[in-house]
A and B are shown apart, each in its own frame.
Chain A
């Protein structure tokens, strides 16, 4: 596009050689699931009865379950309807071990993770601080906590731990997502469960017409509260939903994301709700939360409309040190982007319009998503797993399957849809659902694993070009939780830029991403300094850190 540049810019560009500049690279992905032996098909058991549970599900989690330094993949799966039983291997959840050569081996049986019930989402966290990532799997009336035994096997400890999710008032609930975080900074991960709606297969409402039956709108179902479980440090949890204030708020919960939105050292919670307003729980300390979505300006779309919120990520897109919020929705909702205010007491700014995301996503239906720096230029981009609701073809006159989309962050000011240049495999439409993010081949570029409703899962290997450098931090908490979830990291580059990120696995919808804290450094070969604010309150500073490495950071290490 040189021909379109004003002459003065072309001349200036030719002369400006003093500062290191890396040309913006194209974000590109190869799809390698089959080649990598990652053969998984998500089954929703749809058989023309239009059960609501068929629409959701498809969560995927990434974890290094055997601590070999290579990230493994866990898929949730459906079950027969109405029995909600995994009547055959086609409904098993699956764990794939990364062989560290970008191939995967199905180790479900030996890991003991075939699962039970109609599974939806998964959350990864080391709840017992033993150094092995554990797994919480949620679904329709059945949630399971798997403790990683450290020997390649997982043990179902749900009953003993007290996290079955059965509510005294609502009984067994349908959960879509869950997430691990340490809300009281006591060094042990607590558990948040995002519950959707009351569902009984025998009393499924009928919607549409006899000629044209369709899935009912969520308004036909009663909403549910989220749940909060406090970690008792002994392998058990206490349901603190009511006393914390979380349980007072009814929603139709889908994705959940965590961040310390106001820098007070306490992790806050955002829940994307389907067709009712989003909930933002401010962590007041002392085990209490206040719901401030309305007051913060993130509860609804700018016109007061409740979008069909699906996935969420709570990260800083404009490098101002404050976590921002992105939420996906369905066609004609537009996805939401809220910028955290620079001044305290102000509202989150609605940034979807001015960044181009509003109109750029208006015809899309998004499920999981993630805000990651795919081209390592120092600005976090957006990846959306997309597909319209199943059976929507007859209403739209076009296929429900959609290709995914990636939007490049242009210096925190614009999101530019660069999907068309993201590779031929990226253009293929499918019924995408869950997405989890990790660097599976440890090359410094963030990859994505995507589930497909009744189709083969996809593994998008990031093959973006360019010479950009990167840095990843693997945190090892001591006073803080072992995985360091909730740690906020500030990096200053040699060129003076400041970058921010935080440790979380709770990203998108029904899914769980790697816990490493990543930074794209652009042309910088070192980070001038790195500051880690641990959940314990401790601050650690590292100086002159070389790029292009996974840095192990121990909270207890001497400076």
Chain B
């Protein structure tokens, strides 16, 4: 359904009687989603869309729920519907990019995130994910520029998220810019001192710089914390090397044993 047609229908009052209950159902669904009551949220969002199939926030929430359940096709259909109704729905557009990104469809993700950026150039998440997509496709220069922009945008809003800083820190480290990478990681640690991923990144940078003792300390700290993407196995592997470089092969061997103990039989 085109946007003007939707507007016409709303304007003509054909959907008017259903909009308020639909919005109420959506609000309920959103509260349930925030409360992580996903089955209840899914039921509520279905009710909202039954009442108003073109309700963009409900379509967007449905997409989020579908993505959370790894139902990416359904998520994509919901987002395409939402964007057909409102092509300027920036959050739906961002999620549309994210849907492609998480399913590894980088060629699709790229224009979607670019459009999300166009719809709101002040959205740091759109800049960050466009950067991640560019990096995946080999455009590291643009990726780094976008990481910097994402950080700048968050700073302009008052605070920078550690997860916004770490992709840039990792790329800087890969490029051999260890000092600048360390600065980014330390900024991430300032933003979230107990975030595992930041401590792990700092340990990596320190190990590359030859500070094995520092890497051990940061690695051991990371192991005690929680994060988003860094696993225990990754930290153990780092600690194996850090302890060996630090002259303690017996402690390295202990880390290797710990890593091996985590290994489950491969495959199904």
On A, residues with C-beta under 8 Å from B are: 197-198, 209-211, 218-223, 250-252, 276, 294-295, 297, 299-300, 302-305, 332, 345-347, 353-354, 358-359, 362-363, 394-398
Within 8 Å by CB of A345, from B204, B236, B249, lies B249
* Residue of B whose beta carbon sits closest to that of A275: B266
- A48 vs B253: C-alpha distance when bound (angstroms): 47
Binds A, one of B36-44, B46-54, B100-108, B149-157: B100-108
Task: Collect the chain B residues with CB atoms within 8 Å of residue A210's CB.
Answer: 73
**Would you call A396 and B107 a contact (CB within 8 A)?**
yes
* Residue of B whose beta carbon sits closest to that of A301: B237
**Would you call B106 and A221 a contact (CB within 8 A)?**
no
* Residue of B whose beta carbon sits closest to that of A294: B256
User: Interface residues of B: mostly helix, strand, loop or mixed?
Assistant: helix
**Would you call A222 and B267 a contact (CB within 8 A)?**
yes
Contact string, B94-122, partner A, CB cutoff 8 A, digits 1/0? Answer: 00000000001111101000000000000
Across the A-B interface, give the 3 residue pairs with the lowest CB-CB distance, nearest first.
A397-B107, A304-B234, A222-B267
- A53 vs B165: C-alpha distance when bound (angstroms): 41
With contacts A209-B73, A395-B106, A397-B107 taken as known, whether A197 is within 8 angstroms of B235 at the C-beta atoms is no
Task: Collect the chain B residues with CB atoms within 8 Å of residue A359's CB.
Answer: 140, 174-175
**Would you call A303 and B234 a contact (CB within 8 A)?**
yes
> In whole Å, how far is A132's beta carbon from the nearest beta carbon of chain B?
39
Task: Collect the chain A residues with CB atoms within 8 Å of residue B256's CB.
Answer: 294-295
With contacts A294-B256, A303-B234, A304-B234 taken as known, whether A397 is within 8 angstroms of B106 at the C-beta atoms is yes
- A299 vs B237: C-alpha distance when bound (angstroms): 9
Within 8 Å by CB of A294, from B175, B204, B260, lies B260
Within 8 Å by CB of A198, from B233, B244, B267, lies B267
- A445 vs B132: C-alpha distance when bound (angstroms): 42
Within 8 Å by CB of B72, from A209, A220, A251, lies A209
Given A223-B267, A332-B136, 4 additional A-B pairs, CB 8 A? A222-B266, A250-B266, A303-B238, A397-B110
* Residue of A whose beta carbon sits closest to that of B233: A304
* Residue of B whose beta carbon sits closest to that of A214: B104
Task: Collect the chain B residues with CB atoms within 8 Å of residue A346's CB.
Answer: 244-245
* Residue of A whose beta carbon sits closest to that of B240: A294
Report 23 cross-chain contacts, Cβ distance below 8 Å, ordered by A residue. A198-B267, A220-B267, A222-B267, A223-B265, A294-B240, A294-B259, A295-B249, A295-B253, A295-B256, A300-B237, A302-B204, A303-B204, A304-B238, A346-B245, A353-B174, A358-B174, A362-B138, A363-B138, A394-B105, A395-B106, A395-B107, A396-B107, A396-B137
- A353 vs B253: C-alpha distance when bound (angstroms): 26
- A223 vs B252: C-alpha distance when bound (angstroms): 27
- A363 vs B267: C-alpha distance when bound (angstroms): 26
- A197 vs B266: C-alpha distance when bound (angstroms): 9
**Would you call A353 and B137 a contact (CB within 8 A)?**
no
Interface size on B, residues (CB 8 A): 38
Task: Collect the chain A residues with CB atoms within 8 Å of residue B138's CB.
Answer: 362-363
* Residue of A whose beta carbon sits closest to that of B245: A347
* Residue of A whose beta carbon sits closest to that of B175: A359
Task: Collect the chain A residues with CB atoms within 8 Å of residue B73's CB.
Answer: 209-211
With contacts A304-B238, A362-B138, A363-B138 taken as known, whether A396 is within 8 angstroms of B106 at the C-beta atoms is yes
* Residue of A whose beta carbon sits closest to that of B238: A304
**Would you call A395 and B105 a contact (CB within 8 A)?**
yes
- A398 vs B241: C-alpha distance when bound (angstroms): 38
Say if the beta carbon of B231 comes within 8 Å of chain A.
yes
Task: Collect the chain B residues with CB atoms within 8 Å of residue A358's CB.
Answer: 174
Task: Collect the chain B residues with CB atoms within 8 Å of residue A252's CB.
Answer: 266
- A302 vs B200: C-alpha distance when bound (angstroms): 12
- A398 vs B108: C-alpha distance when bound (angstroms): 11
> In whole Å, how far is B169's beta carbon from the nearest beta carbon of chain A?
12
**Would you call A304 and B237 a contact (CB within 8 A)?**
yes
**Would you call B266 and A220 a contact (CB within 8 A)?**
no
Task: Collect the chain B residues with CB atoms within 8 Å of residue A397's CB.
Answer: 106-108, 110, 137
**Would you call A394 and B140 a contact (CB within 8 A)?**
no
Task: Collect the chain B residues with CB atoms within 8 Å of residue A219's CB.
Answer: 266-267
- A218 vs B267: C-alpha distance when bound (angstroms): 7
Say if the beta carbon of B268 comes within 8 Å of chain A.
yes
Task: Collect the chain A residues with CB atoms within 8 Å of residue B259's CB.
Answer: 294
* Residue of B whose beta carbon sits closest to that of A198: B267
**Would you call B244 and A295 a contact (CB within 8 A)?**
yes
Say if the beta carbon of B176 comes within 8 Å of chain A.
yes
Point out which of A251, A346, A362, A397 has the most chain B C-beta atoms below 10 A from its C-beta. Answer: A397
> In whole Å, how far is B16's beta carbon from the nearest beta carbon of chain A?
36
- A37 vs B188: C-alpha distance when bound (angstroms): 61
**Would you call A304 and B260 a contact (CB within 8 A)?**
no
> In whole Å, how far is B68's beta carbon from the nearest beta carbon of chain A?
17
**Would you call A305 and B266 a contact (CB within 8 A)?**
no
- A276 vs B237: C-alpha distance when bound (angstroms): 13
Within 8 Å by CB of B235, from A211, A304, A353, lies A304
Within 8 Å by CB of A394, from B107, B136, B252, lies B107
Task: Collect the chain A residues with CB atoms within 8 Å of residue B240's CB.
Answer: 294-295, 297
With contacts A345-B249, A397-B110 taken as known, whether A251 is within 8 angstroms of B204 at the C-beta atoms is no
* Residue of B whose beta carbon sits closest to that of A250: B266
* Residue of A whose beta carbon sits closest to that of B171: A359
**Would you call A222 and B268 a contact (CB within 8 A)?**
yes
**Would you call A305 and B234 a contact (CB within 8 A)?**
yes
Point out which of A219, A251, A305, A396 has the most chain B C-beta atoms below 10 A from its C-beta. Answer: A396
**Would you call A297 and B241 a contact (CB within 8 A)?**
yes
> In whole Å, how far is B5's beta carbon from the nearest beta carbon of chain A?
27
Give B112-169 interface residues, CB cut-off 8 Å to A.
136-138, 140
